[in-house]
Structure 1
């Protein structure tokens, strides 16, 4: 987007104060990021959801740090004027601090991310604090945490009872104290998301978390129905059906090649007059036709 200036964490926090909703979308490659930036998105998340969406895995667990660095770097090339957050993938921030710092450094230096995202609440707050103290902006993520899907028993709505609601509120407060600049709330009941948003001073970014959050994030491919076997999700609104257009376009291409309608005369290039005669001898082309 011409003239656009990337956000920073100070501006992002001020957007909550100004009641200016924050728009976030995932992107995993150069063209997606470029289109998102041109559309005016506030922030791009290079999510480890790329495992499900573009790598064909059935969860985010198999995604590696190398995967995240590779895709983050591509996104950064496509969206030079947009704030980019990249996920630390499964088990890359649960070992020693030295190991965690090495992984964070790779996302920032090689992946060109402006911030990293970490899943978890109070249990990871000390690690978050250390990373923030080292000068790295951190985006928190609570509620449904896909990296822990095997432990929590599947993709379940969070915050449905009082005990779970209190846990989520305390997790959010712990992350705020640790220094995160914002928190993603995933598949959290609307009432609890609104309560969290009211009780903390930093922005909340919802995905399936209702209308009380300070911003929203959706997956690029969900917004555009950009897949072959799209599965409807209650918390998603699709704004275009790109998948169908792509499939129809490729199908038409296949048909035109099979029927020799493509390439047509407009798509071919002609040599200078007499080139074939010079190559093969005068009259060669006519005798073989």
Structure 2
């Protein structure tokens, strides 16, 4: 008995001493608790360590590493051009930022369309990039027309991989949608399909759904019929929460933003002004200031140096 107790005690100590203390960040259960309490959820994109640090410091509930980084950070014309390797690089950078925000990572275009087994491998690879990656986000069309994406999502959920689905305007399918247009407002059939798609996604295991560019009434109705959180973008305030692209929200690329964006500040103008002030101070030699921005050497050492150079 005593031997067993001593052995158990030793094991417990070894187990405890080898455990790594990981900074706390939101879990899916934390998000569910907030949703069940009726408190709106906040979500914002981030694409690197700096923007992720801002999002975490602001205590945003969720942080999305979206494939929109293709256009906002890398200068591509669309999200479709983004490669998986480029995306992984940014996910890893985001996850190095400390803070509470639950990290959701997109499945970029081409990472699951060719084959479900390849898609599963890519999803697992993204999840394994860092322990902070808690969920995958997958864009999906109508449950009737996009049976493949529905099947892929079901495969992910059946393997215990948390999935946030994305319906309505899905940028990866912009060509098949005929452009960046509001969804669920053209016909009764389209509205019915959108609603049924949301219900099917909940049924197959999605823990939340992003609803993009859908009429307010439609998004509110869908939200009221589901028992999982909905995150709206251009879908009104009847959803469980909101998500915005950080470069739109903070004016990092100027004042031209989509209708549904509330721009809280114009960082591009602030940054440009700061850079102009810097350039002016360089040109007029007011920067660097001798006392504020430079380093010193002791006079006796400096004189010794000068004397040594005079003999050469």
Scaled by the length of structure 2, the TM-score of the pair is 0.85
Contact 1:70 1:111 survives alignment (8 Å): no
Aligned to 1:45: 64
User: How far 1:68 moved relative to its partner?
Assistant: 1.8
1:56 counterpart = 2:82: no
- Whole-Å separation in 2 of the counterparts to 1:105 and 1:79: 22
CA distance in 2, matches of 1:283, 1:201: 80
Task: Pick closer, same or farther for the CA change 1:219–1:243 going to 2, 3 Å.
Answer: same
How far off is 1:80 after superposition? 4.3
Superposed displacement of residue 57, structure 1: 1.0
1:156 aligns with 2:188: no
CA distance in 2, matches of 1:152, 1:81: 36
Question: Which of the residues 97, 100, 117 maps onto 1:98?
Answer: 117
Q: Find 2:134's aligned residue among 103, 107, 114.
A: 114
- The alignment of Structure 1 onto Structure 2 pairs a total of residues equal to 281
Cα offset, 1:282, TM superposition: 6.4
| SS of equivalent residue, structure 1 residue 148 | helix
Contact 2:137 2:164 (8 Å CA) reproduced = yes
Unaligned ranges ≥5, structure 2: 1-22
What stretches of structure 1 of length at least 5 have no aligned partner?
A: 285-289
Match of 1:179 in 2: 205
Task: Tell me the alpha carbon deviations over residues 238-259 of structure 1, each in whole angstroms, 9 at most, x when there is no partner.
Answer: 1112211111001100111011
Alignment of 1:217 onto 2:243:
yes
Q: Distance in 2 between matches of 1:5 and 1:274?
A: 53
Cα distance in 1 for partners of 2:198, 2:222 equals: 7
In 2, the alpha carbon distance for the partners of 1:221 and 1:174 equals: 32
After superposition, the CA RMSD in angstroms is 1.8
1:46 Cα deviation from its structure 2 partner: 0.4
Q: What pairs with 1:140-151 in structure 2 (closer than 5 Å)?
A: 140-151=165-176
Quote the residue 2:28 is aligned against.
9
Q: 2: distance between equivalents of 1:165 and 1:148?
A: 18
Q: For each residue in 1:2-43, what CA deviation from the matched residue of structure 2 results, as whole angstroms up to 9, or x when unmatched?
A: xx8422223323333221111000001111111111111000
Per the TM alignment, residue 223 of structure 1 is displaced from its structure 2 partner at its CA by 1.3
Alignment CA distance shift 1:164-1:263 (3 Å) = same
User: Is contact 2:106-2:136 (8 Å) kept?
Assistant: yes
1:142 aligned counterpart, secondary structure: strand
Shift, 1:232, TM fit: 2.9
* Contact 1:101-1:131 at 8 Å conserved across structures: yes
Contact 1:69 1:107 in 2 (8 A): yes
Q: Residues of 1 paired with 2:35 and 2:305: CA distance?
A: 72
1:233 maps to 2:258: yes
4+ long deviations beyond 6 Å? none
Distance between the aligned counterparts of 1:95 and 1:101, measured in 2? 11
Displacement, 1:138?
0.5
Q: Distance in 2 between matches of 1:96 and 1:234?
A: 36
Tell me, yes or no, if structure 1 residue 23 matches structure 2 residue 42.
Answer: yes
